[in-house]
Amino acid sequence: MGLGLDGGLYRLLLLLHILCAIAGFGAVVFNGLYRTRARQRGGDSELLLLEENGYITHIAEFLIYGVFVFGLAVAFSSKSYWELSQSWLSLAMLLYIIEMGVLHGLIHRSERQYKDLLVQVSGSSGGRTAEVSQLEQLEKRIRLGWAGFDVIFLLILYLMVFTPGHVRAG
């Protein structure tokens, strides 16, 4: 289990890094579409679908955190082939941190507000125009957040695949 690009430890860490990326980001990449479908169903079905999607997203987040941890481990185990000082890698890590900020600061906060308000509206018998309008605003914010999350992910993926500015030996 040696270090370096040909080492078993490096390859294991790279495998775990890629696996976490596929499973974690793959599980949440369509969350905007899930929300749209849930909204179309409305009522109790919407709440149930959002809760189930939230459960899967929560599990996927741990894998997404693993992407960062295993990515750092890959860089450290590469025997200086990948270095944190490389601009593409530093930029990818910065984008990852921004992405986690979007996830926790915008998306999750708005989703909690949406769910709480949806429960209130579902429990009332009368028309509540102000609450429905607020739900629509929150829904737009959440969808925009997930779209931004997906775009940032694509930028990170681009950096990982093309490693711009990295000069390869050989």
Residue 125 placed within a domain:
yes
Look at the chain and report how many structural domains it folds into: 1
Question: What whole-number distance in Å separates Cα of residue 170 and Cα of residue 143?
Answer: 45
CB 120 within 8 A of CB 74: no
Look at residue 127 in the predicted model and tell me its pLDDT. Answer: 60
CB 66 within 8 A of CB 98: no
Look at residue 125 in the predicted model and tell me its pLDDT. Answer: 63
Closest by alpha carbon to 52, among 31, 23, 25? 31
Residue 56 placed within a domain:
yes
- What would the two tokens of residue 35 be? 């929300």
Question: What whole-number distance in Å separates Cα of residue 123 and Cα of residue 120?
Answer: 5
Residue 170 placed within a domain:
no
Residue 53 placed within a domain:
yes
Question: What whole-number distance in Å separates Cα of residue 31 and Cα of residue 29?
Answer: 6
Closest by alpha carbon to 64, among 104, 12, 34? 104
User: Structural domain of residue 69, as residue ranges?
Assistant: 8-162
Q: What is the pLDDT of residues 89-138, one digit of tens each?
A: 999 999 999 999 999 999 999 999 999 998 888 777 666 788 889 999 99
Residue 70 placed within a domain:
yes
Q: What is the pLDDT of residues 48-92, one digit of tens each?
A: 999 999 999 999 999 999 999 999 999 999 998 999 999 999 999
Question: What whole-number distance in Å separates Cα of residue 100 and Cα of residue 133?
Answer: 28
Burial class (CB in 10 A: 0-12, 13-18, 19+), 51: exposed
Residue 169 placed within a domain:
no
CB 114 within 8 A of CB 139: yes
Residue 3 placed within a domain:
no
